Structure 1
Amino acid sequence: YPLKADSFKFIETCREQFDLIFADPPYDMKEVDTIPDLIFEKKLLKPDGLLILEHSRTHNFTMLPQFSRELKYGSVHFSIFS
């Protein structure tokens, strides 16, 4: 279900698991780099689930163990995690 709320509060309190999480935070948000770790620490993805994180080119998630690949469309980047 679509969520329009403080994502960090949601991550802290959520007790559900999801097949797909699409995160599109503001590009200038300082905490963008913490989103994948928080989602995986809280086990918000089902075992075969995907996290798609939209971000600017200044972020690099390739070192995270759950990182699968990055897609680039102009200045928009999508990192895929599983």
Structure 2
Amino acid sequence: MQIQRGLYKGQKLQRAATSSIRPCTGRVKKSLFDTLLSRIDIDESRVLDLFAGFGNLGFEALSLGAREATFVDQDRRSLSSITTTADKLGLRKEARIVRHDVTRFIALAPEHSTYDIIFCDPPYSWPDYEGLIALIFHKPLLAQGGWLLIEHDARHRFTELPEYAFHKEYGNTVVTFFTPTGACS
């Protein structure tokens, strides 16, 4: 697992020895960043990486010029890996690493905390995707003109949600894109 573009292209991300973390594949990551880059300027953006795992998506955004990335996960091994990668790349000031339950983190976030890009990659067995999406938009954590990307399996469809914009399918993996206004692709 490595950074594909930008300033840190080719740098490998630290991984912990665990099978409980399902990182975004290189093919999916390339496609979703191609899609994002055609819609938003990542340079100087604020990024939130929920269920961060090894920080694959947040570090890719930092490599492309994001101002800061907040990585949220409750697994100590994940956060240790993120910390090691941030140290290796000299990104400790830009990488905010938070050990917290994701739903509690969202609920406790200050009202003025907004992000331009939110990556959300819960376990495929997550019991309430719609509730998680509603919580993010209710807070609101996503800035106007920003994008929320949720990675999930093919069982879930969110086309009826008002913030739904479009989705991309990669076999059993689906990434759904949301905006505050639900602008179509």
TM-score category of the 2 structures, normalised to the smaller one? over 0.9
* Residue matched to 1:14: 109
TM alignment of 1:1-82, pairs within 5 A:
1-4=70-73, 5-15=100-110, 16-82=113-179
| TM-score (normalised: structure 1) | 0.94
Deviations 1:14-35 (A, max 9, x none): 1210001000000011122211
Bigger share in strand:
1
Number of residue pairs the alignment of both structures matches: 82
Distance in 2 (CA, whole Å) between partners of 1:33 and 1:76 is 17
Bigger share in helix:
2
Stretches of 4+ aligned residues off by more than 3 angstroms: none
Percent of pairs with identical residues:
34
Query: 3-state SS of the aligned residue for 1:30?
Result: coil
| TM-score (normalised: structure 2) | 0.43
| AA aligned opposite 1:8 | T
| AA aligned opposite 1:2 | F
Q: Flag the structure with more relative contact order, 1 or 2, with Cα contacts below 8 A and sequence separation at least 6.
A: 1
Q: CA RMSD in A?
A: 0.9
Gaps spanning 5+ residues in structure 2: where? 1-69, 74-99, 180-185
Between Structure 1 and Structure 2, whose CA radius of gyration is higher?
2
Distance in 1 (CA, whole Å) between partners of 2:147 and 2:114 is 11
Gaps spanning 5+ residues in structure 1: where? none
